[in-house]
Structure 1
Amino acid sequence: MKMRFWVLFAALAVPVCFAQSASVSTVPMTDAQKAEMAQKVRAECLRAWEGYKKYAWGHDALKPLSHAPYDWYGSGHSLLMTPVDALDTLTLMGLKPQADEARKLIDTQLNLDQDIYVKDFEITIRLLGALQSNYELTGDKRLLELADDLGRRMLPMFDSPTGMPYEYVNLKTGAVRGVNSNPAEVGSLLIEYGMLARLTGKQEYYDKAKKAMVALYDRRSAKTGLVGLGINVETGQWTDTAAGIMGGIDSYYEYLLKAAILFGDKDCERMWQTSLVAINRYLADERPDGLWYGQADMNTGKRTTTYYGALDAFFPALLALGGDVNRAARLEDSSNRMWHVAGIEPDQYNYATGQITAADYPLRPEIIESAYYLYHYTHDAKYLEMGKGFFDAIEKYCRTDDGFAALKNVQTKEKADDMESFFFAETMKYLYLLFAPPSTLDFNAVILNTEAHPMKRALGLK
């Protein structure tokens, strides 16, 4: 969730007024201090990568407490999730030997011809998105061949009566299953399949992913303009009418704006603009301590719950990308307050009662992503201080001998034996980009998918 096509999206821009947070220092960091922070992040990413290499090489992930390898779909069915997801981060950090060894492993060992049912959303944003992004970064044609092969194997998921994808597809047989889905899984595919269409010349990829997104949008509430949390992809009927920006819905909204920018797609622009009106009308919640976004019934717009969480914290970045930097800054201040309730971010927080309602921390990146976006737009030093605070807390509470561990409980700080691939792809990347020189990644030249894999805007618009 991020971008800024201010020429194409001038109509979305609003007067900018940068909110300040009294709890965060605004003393500028020197270039030397920023470089020192970038180097610390780089060193910790390298240390975690070496832990993966030592204990889980060739597998999907490392269990950082037990030092055991983990494969998503069972032993013997690795899709090399961590090497694929981490590759562009290693490249951007200048860790060339590590990037080269990861790319060699992927080029020679990634096997897509497996009799396994894979989840459409996760495989698309992590695996497909990373293969394309790394092809664009390196020019390695094998990566594009793998992306095209994966895209072809995933296409049967779109063969539902509505055109919305089934949740799972078998990579070998093309068989599908899982009729009950959600907006994020249905509507967060166009960045990857659209770019695959641009890179291969196969328009079918773009058309099927866009058809799914439009089918979902067309089923929004006629009264409020909101979508719910659950939908049956065969009947098109809603199975859960809870509306919000939370996980299960979040990246659908993200991809409306990003696809509009990346591809110059006017339909996506229109869908984003109308959706944003509904979001701000029914979900935004002004409270004495600041701006939050809660949940409502999609059909009535009535407030149902006052939860905000780690996944919701992507929204400041999306607001900033769409031109509303003032609202984005206010919401990031609220996200930062949530982070400090227990010294590190809970997965869900009731902002009306001040109670943590889901106490785990899975090493999520979204609040850091939003700080990165807001620093780009405002150059306000407080976002560097926020980022330093996020990094320090992760290092203090999640660091292990050979990596970083998720937390079972942010109040007790008990660790979980889990280090997902997005820790490399997103959390460490956003921390690094926040402090690294802007030339590390040209913010205006790329669109980052929801897994933080950069896609070149010049290729998307061709």
Structure 2
Amino acid sequence: MAGPIAASQQRRLLPLLLLLALAIAAFQASAVSAAGMTRERRLQLRDKVKEQFNHGYDNYMTHAFPHDELNPVTCTGRSRDSNPDNWNVNDVLGNFSLTLIDSLDAHAIMGDTKRFEDAVRLVIRHVNFDLDSRVQVFEVTIRVLGALLSAHTLAVHPTIGFQIPWYADELLVLARDLGDRLMPAFDTPTGIPWPRVNLRTGVLPYEAASTCSAGAGTLLLEFGVLSRLTGDPKYEAAAKHALLSVWGRRSPLDLIGNTINVLDGKWINELAGIGAGIDSFYEYLFKSYVLFGESEYVDAWDVAYQGLIKHVRDERGLLYKTINMNTGALATTWMDSLAAFFPGLQVLAGDLKNAAALHQLYFAIWTRYSALPERFDFNTRAPTISSYPLRPELIESTYMLYLATRDPWYLEVGERFVNDFEKMARVRCGFASLADVEAGTHEDRMESFFLSETLKYLYLLFDEENFVHTLHDNHVFTTEGHLLLLPYSLQNHQSASAPTSQSDNPKSIGTRVCPRYTPLPSERRSKPPNTKSANSPPVASETMDMIELLVAGTRQEAREGLQQVRVEPAEGSRYTPARIVQTATGLLLSHLAGVTLGIADEGPTYRVKTVNEIVLSATDTITVPARGVAFLVSADGDSAEFEASPLIRLVVEGLDKELPLALATYGPALASGERIDARIVSPPAAQSERSKAGIALGCTPHPVDVAASLIEGNMLLLSRGGCSFSEKTAWAEIAGAIGVVIANNQGSGIFPMAPGENVTVDTASIPSAMVSAREGAMLVQLLRKSASGSLKVQLLGPDEVGDAGGEGGVVAAVTGEVLDTRVQFGGRHVSNIRVIRSWRRKGEGGMAGRRDTRGGRSLLEPGRGFWCMRFCCARGPAVSCGVVT
């Protein structure tokens, strides 16, 4: 009987329809491809990529095999070493010929049947996993287990063309053996796996209990396929439980954090985003649905993606920020290269518009350096980690966008990649990672993913006739670029059709139908100046304007052509330096006195493009309270009476008097009547890092054990000297302190402390104040007498505040009324300065859009900062507290 397709049938068909949609798009748009690039040129580029692959692989086999990786500069092999702290190497390399294994399916995808068979034979003869190697579960799963499963399915597939007559499931046997050796990692109270195992002995007694969300949630594709192929459900069950266990601990914003404790399931690092430590969690959430067809994964994906779009993506629809998973507060101003995978995932999920915009942002960074730096700061417009280990993420997204749109622009992007690899990375014995994208220097390492992913995706971009594009089985590429196939006979059809609260709703299912792709008209596309490209990026010109401003260059480059104007108050006026807070929509300034503005002439109006050293985007707004521009109102110039911040007070248990403190000009202000109850402590420090009074200077990262046992949730007593005041506050905040009291060591007075000379954006979220040298010494003596090593204190706000909430009242969301007051320059309106009546606190929530740590939990988590990323995923860039900006 004819009629609508039942909801359960639709759910079973959706993964296949997703794949068919990409294939149909590829077929229907072939004429567009031909118009953009000739078939001859496309095949030349395809063959060039294969030559590059052979150059890397042949040199590995000649100079490095059976080692794990190739050192292409010195033409030697690389394997693990005896240094337990060399995690970037030893987490990945296990003395099992990693590059040989990781490259297996690349031979088949590049059409080299003989090399594929030869490589399979070498793996069978030389590889075993009975090794005394402590490796990362995540890395070995995606690089090794995934490669073995992919090669096995290709070697036995009856129609693709790579079936090996003599093959008897040896790779599957190896895969199962490896899976069994990894299974002890899942033996935790939460089901979230330990980050590392010893392949011979299991989890070691001293193993760290912290793992990143990506490490725990990026196992299901490989372990699931292992279960389906062997008939043993334990592998899939363990990986599925780990994925859903992390997801079940999401925040009220439907975001997951970066790092979690495998024993108690508590978040160690609450940073949320789409980059290092989190990236492939989202990838596997959706791809598990595509491969297995089970609706619970896409249900979770729907919720997760909405959380990202609502909270992580900025208001301009371009940047995906790093924020606090619970508050949504902006945490960093950088983006990392691993997040360049996300446009490809958005393509698979059907969000082509957002995918194209984010891809173009990353490609704009690439065009500036002919590579993609590990981390790029969109405030300074410069890399903060300048290396590039030949990662595949941007190439993968380019391939996916071309597959879905057949827009010839993406072929030109791919050609740029081919040429840049040749120019920047090719050396005599392979392709070398870039140690510094700005200097063009090499690191003597060719990671295995350059062959298994980077060049594979680049090859597929130009090989439109590849068998991958016409597969009928459910299939996905893993996060390591391995092709996993799942025939219909191995799908769990009962689970796929089981009703869920969301998937049983036909309306919900309808929202998962990808809209038809409509290319952006040429008149709306942006053509970058001085380009030799025959095509234009498929993004609107206004989006390209924002992208170019975000990555245009250094601050000096951004200032070129601007009028630099210092806003001067009347002679003799007194004021503290303006407090500047960066938000998602621009800047909040406490006042304009003494601020240097870079002003551009835009015809009928002027626009501020830089504030001091901060470069603004085309949509950024500068918001200032009326009090902060009062001195500009009359032609004569009113006095800018911006006095020092009002005095606050410290009440110490056992003292019969209140100690006066001067609040810093950076960090949050205290409102009238506000009170912070806490305990104050003085951290231990070496003699060289103490003042004459014996108080720690606090100019270096606090040790993790001290932070966890002493500093977390307390106020910190430090001494002036050794570094800037803001540096002391930053290290204290990273260690989990909720406030800082800094004792003066010169003279008997106190004053409002200013940040360091190079600090242009206020990022402090805990209050800092100065106490006199005499009263600081008194606090030290009281602490020494205290049995607990701490004192109970109350930090009290000022008795009275002015109409703007005190100097530097930029501590809350802007909820003031906009005034009909316009700032002018040269007789014309400055279009992006907004004057409001006052700053007001937004309810009881503290500082909207800022980090609020008065509850005793710092944004970066007590004593941990970014160190957790070092111990989570070797894929992530090497970072430490020393490079936190």
TM-score (norm 2): 0.49
Give the conservation status (yes or no) of the 8 Å contact 1:157–1:167.
Answer: yes
Could you tell me which residue of structure 1 aligns to residue 150 of structure 2?
Answer: 133
Q: Which amino acid aligns with 2:305?
A: L
1:39-78, aligned counterparts within 5 Å? 39-72=47-80, 78=95
Aligned equivalent of 1:92, options 106, 109, 120: 109
Q: Deviations over 1:114-136 (max 9, x none)?
A: 12211100000000000000000
Q: Please identify, of 65-74 and 101-110, the stretch whose mean Cα deviation from structure 2 is larger.
A: 65-74
Give the CA deviation at 1:356.
Answer: 1.4
- Match of 1:8, SS state, is helix
Q: Within the alignment, does 1:233 sit opposite 2:239 as a pair?
A: no
- For the residues of structure 2 that align with 1:7 and 1:101, how far apart are their CA atoms? 37
Highest relative contact order (Cα 8 Å, sep 6+), 1 or 2? Answer: 1
Q: Structure 1: which 5+ residue stretches go unaligned?
A: 19-24
Give the CA deviation at 1:266.
Answer: 1.6
- For the residues of structure 1 that align with 2:152 and 2:256, how far apart are their CA atoms? 35
Q: Within the alignment, does 1:372 sit opposite 2:402 as a pair?
A: no
Could you tell me which residue of structure 2 aligns to residue 159 of structure 1?
Answer: 187
1:238-253, aligned counterparts within 5 Å? 238-253=267-282
Could you tell me which residue of structure 1 aligns to residue 141 of structure 2?
Answer: 124
Give the conservation status (yes or no) of the 8 Å contact 1:282–1:302.
Answer: no
Give the conservation status (yes or no) of the 8 Å contact 1:447–1:457.
Answer: no
State the number of aligned residues.
Answer: 446
Taking only aligned residues, the RMSD between alpha carbons, in angstroms, comes to 2.4
Q: Deviations over 1:439-461 (max 9, x none)?
A: 33136642110001011142552
Q: Percent identity?
A: 38
Q: Which amino acid aligns with 1:346?
A: P
1:249-264, aligned counterparts within 5 Å? 249-264=278-293
Q: Which amino acid aligns with 1:241?
A: E
- For the residues of structure 1 that align with 2:410 and 2:310, how far apart are their CA atoms? 27
Give the CA deviation at 1:73.
Answer: 5.6
Could you tell me which residue of structure 2 aligns to residue 285 of structure 1?
Answer: 314
Could you tell me which residue of structure 1 aligns to residue 201 of structure 2?
Answer: 173
Q: Structure 2: which 5+ residue stretches go unaligned?
A: 1-10, 26-32, 83-89, 157-166, 493-885
Q: Within the alignment, does 1:8 sit opposite 2:14 as a pair?
A: yes
Evaluate the alpha carbon distance shift between residue 27 and residue 354 of structure 1 in structure 2; reply closer, same or farther with a 3 A threshold.
Answer: farther
- For the residues of structure 2 that align with 1:430 and 1:10, how far apart are their CA atoms? 21
Q: Please identify, of 169-178 and 81-90, the stretch whose mean Cα deviation from structure 2 is larger.
A: 169-178
Could you tell me which residue of structure 2 aligns to residue 331 of structure 1?
Answer: 358
Give the conservation status (yes or no) of the 8 Å contact 2:344–2:398.
Answer: yes
- Match of 1:304, SS state, is coil
- For the residues of structure 2 that align with 1:365 and 1:11, how far apart are their CA atoms? 26
- For the residues of structure 2 that align with 1:47 and 1:165, how far apart are their CA atoms? 38
Q: Please identify, of 154-163 and 165-174, the stretch whose mean Cα deviation from structure 2 is larger.
A: 165-174
Evaluate the alpha carbon distance shift between residue 286 and residue 418 of structure 1 in structure 2; reply closer, same or farther with a 3 A threshold.
Answer: farther
Q: Which amino acid aligns with 2:67?
A: H
Give the CA deviation at 1:94.
Answer: 2.2
TM-score (norm 1): 0.92
- For the residues of structure 1 that align with 2:173 and 2:123, how far apart are their CA atoms? 12
- For the residues of structure 2 that align with 1:87 and 1:261, how far apart are their CA atoms? 23
Give the CA deviation at 1:148.
Answer: 0.6
Give the CA deviation at 1:405.
Answer: 0.2
Could you tell me which residue of structure 2 aligns to residue 203 of structure 1?
Answer: 233
Give the conservation status (yes or no) of the 8 Å contact 2:16–2:290.
Answer: no
Q: Which amino acid aligns with 1:384?
A: L
- For the residues of structure 2 that align with 1:461 and 1:280, how far apart are their CA atoms? 31
- For the residues of structure 1 that align with 2:441 and 2:95, how far apart are their CA atoms? 28
- For the residues of structure 2 that align with 1:319 and 1:230, how far apart are their CA atoms? 24
Q: Within the alignment, does 1:421 sit opposite 2:448 as a pair?
A: yes
Aligned equivalent of 1:396, options 414, 419, 423: 423
Evaluate the alpha carbon distance shift between residue 415 and residue 65 of structure 1 in structure 2; reply closer, same or farther with a 3 A threshold.
Answer: same
- For the residues of structure 1 that align with 2:48 and 2:16, how far apart are their CA atoms? 38
Evaluate the alpha carbon distance shift between residue 202 and residue 73 of structure 1 in structure 2; reply closer, same or farther with a 3 A threshold.
Answer: farther
Give the conservation status (yes or no) of the 8 Å contact 1:26–1:385.
Answer: no
Decide which structure has the larger Cα Rg and report it. 2
Evaluate the alpha carbon distance shift between residue 43 and residue 6 of structure 1 in structure 2; reply closer, same or farther with a 3 A threshold.
Answer: farther
Give the conservation status (yes or no) of the 8 Å contact 1:231–1:237.
Answer: yes
- Match of 1:305, SS state, is coil
Give the conservation status (yes or no) of the 8 Å contact 2:109–2:466.
Answer: no
- For the residues of structure 1 that align with 2:309 and 2:152, how far apart are their CA atoms? 38
Could you tell me which residue of structure 1 aligns to residue 620 of structure 2?
Answer: none
Q: Which amino acid aligns with 2:154?
A: L
Q: Deviations over 1:312-361 (max 9, x none)?
A: 10000001101101111111111111112222211111224322121101
- For the residues of structure 1 that align with 2:56 and 2:359, how far apart are their CA atoms? 28
Could you tell me which residue of structure 2 aligns to residue 80 of structure 1?
Answer: 97
Q: Within the alignment, does 1:218 sit opposite 2:248 as a pair?
A: yes
- For the residues of structure 1 that align with 2:202 and 2:211, how far apart are their CA atoms? 18
Give the conservation status (yes or no) of the 8 Å contact 2:67–2:79.
Answer: yes
- For the residues of structure 2 that align with 1:424 and 1:361, how far apart are their CA atoms? 15
Evaluate the alpha carbon distance shift between residue 235 and residue 415 of structure 1 in structure 2; reply closer, same or farther with a 3 A threshold.
Answer: same
- Match of 2:253, SS state, is coil
Give the CA deviation at 1:27.
Answer: 6.0
Q: Which amino acid aligns with 1:254?
A: E
Q: Which amino acid aligns with 2:155?
A: T
Give the CA deviation at 1:259.
Answer: 0.4
Give the conservation status (yes or no) of the 8 Å contact 1:26–1:380.
Answer: no
Could you tell me which residue of structure 2 aligns to residue 21 of structure 1?
Answer: none
Give the conservation status (yes or no) of the 8 Å contact 2:18–2:348.
Answer: no
Q: Within the alignment, does 1:32 sit opposite 2:59 as a pair?
A: no
Give the conservation status (yes or no) of the 8 Å contact 1:125–1:451.
Answer: yes
- Match of 2:36, SS state, is coil
1:435-450, aligned counterparts within 5 Å? 435-442=462-469, 445=473, 446-450=475-479
- For the residues of structure 2 that align with 1:343 and 1:192, how far apart are their CA atoms? 33
Q: Which amino acid aligns with 1:455?
A: L
Evaluate the alpha carbon distance shift between residue 306 and residue 438 of structure 1 in structure 2; reply closer, same or farther with a 3 A threshold.
Answer: farther
Give the CA deviation at 1:11.
Answer: 12
Could you tell me which residue of structure 2 aligns to residue 182 of structure 1?
Answer: 212
Give the conservation status (yes or no) of the 8 Å contact 1:282–1:303.
Answer: no
Q: Please identify, of 178-187 and 349-358, the stretch whose mean Cα deviation from structure 2 is larger.
A: 349-358
Q: Deviations over 1:343-400 (max 9, x none)?
A: 2211111224322121101000000000000001000001111111111111100000
- For the residues of structure 1 that align with 2:470 and 2:134, how far apart are their CA atoms? 36
